[in-house]
Amino acid sequence: MKTEVRRGTGMVQSKRRKLFASRGLLVAVVLAVAGVFAVVFWPRAEPAMTLSRLLQSTHIHGIAVDPKDPSRLYLATHNGFFALSRDGMVSRISDNQNDYMGFTPHPTDPAVFFASGHPPGGGNLGFISSNDGGQSWQRLAPGAEGPVDFHQMDVSKVDPKTIYGIYRGLQVSRDGGRSWTMVGPPPEGVIDLAASATDATTVYLGTETGLLVSRDGGKSWQAAYLLKRPVSMVRTVEGGDIYAFVVGTGLVRASERNLSWSTLGNGFGSAYVLHLAVDPTDRNRLYAATFDPANHKGDVLASADGGRTWSAYEAGR
């Protein structure tokens, strides 16, 4: 199923809307909110702002911890690329206002990011990268059947030259994003994608009907979690741990070695976890970008105990 809304002259598809549509939750409201965000005007030299102010005007498509300064978070949003500092203030990093629908940091080079999505005027960006910490971005490739608009993409933590993305099918690059080949059609209802942290040919998908794994580069798929419930987020981390948010169950974690899952908790109320970041210097410190369809509100939450309890991000945490 694919749910789309018009954005300027282009089209926007959000994994939020796909998830909510699959659950029958406030589809019309979510579509309307996305449409409002799409036409927000952002002055190029806007001053730093609070996180709550940012979240009133846009929504988050990706989150990462700065490995050089773990107190700082990167936020890839509908209207550009930002940094959230320990004092609780958000400042723009990007020299543009792109809609970064797909986003993933390089696993070993803190200055490099990969992304995809839409420029402010509509259309597709193709596969883009930044080599200066997100300040400027360049197109590396249009992608297969592109220019692509990867809404689900991830780089292998085992082999950073291997990158997966979904646009008109599952695509893979083996040369760091410069050329792409089509693997084939993914399973129905894909919401999120994560490349394995232990094997470059292993890929996970969060879908409307459960969590899936492929161990042959996306050619075949098997269940990775027993319950067939919507999975809004899947994330692997260096060392071989994998996290997922299973609707109705909560945040779960396993080792990729055996996929023996434990439930960390479900203290998110009616909100879904859409993106997760783990502090590489402290695996107990996690950050989550969430969206609550009950009040149409996004948030950034923090956990200091490995994801068992969560609170709103606060300055100084």
76, burial (CB in 10 Å: exposed 0-12, middle 13-18, buried 19+): buried
| pTM for the whole structure | 0.87
Q: What is the mean pLDDT of residues 35-56?
A: 65
pLDDT at 86: 84
pLDDT at 72: 92
pLDDT at 252: 98
Would you list the DSSP string of the chain? ----EEETTEEE--HHHHHHHHHT-SHHHHHHHHHHHHT----TTPPPEEHHHHHHH--EEEEEE-TT-TT-EEEEETTEEEEE-TTSEEEE--SS--EEEEEEE-SS-TT-EEEEEE-TTSS---EEEESSTTSS-EEEE--TTSS---SEEEE-SS-TT-EEEESSSEEEESSTTSS-EEEEPPPTTEEEEEE-SS-TT-EEEEETTEEEEESSTTSS-EESSSS---EEEEEEETTTEEEEEETTTEEEEEETTT---EEEE-TTTT-EEEEEEE-TT-TT-EEEEEEETTTTEEEEEEESSTTSS-EE--TT-
Tens-place pLDDT, residues 206-219:
999 999 999 999 99
Per-position b or e across 131-157, b if 16+ CB within 10 A of its CB = eebbeebeebbebbebbbbbbbbbbbb
pLDDT at 30: 33
Tens-place pLDDT, residues 171-213:
999 999 999 999 999 999 999 999 999 999 999 999 999 999 9
> What mean pLDDT is reported for the chain?
87
Give domain limits for the chain: 1-39
pLDDT at 41: 45
Question: 135: pLDDT confidence band, cut at 50, 70 and 90?
Answer: very high
Q: What is the mean pLDDT of residues 78-99?
A: 93
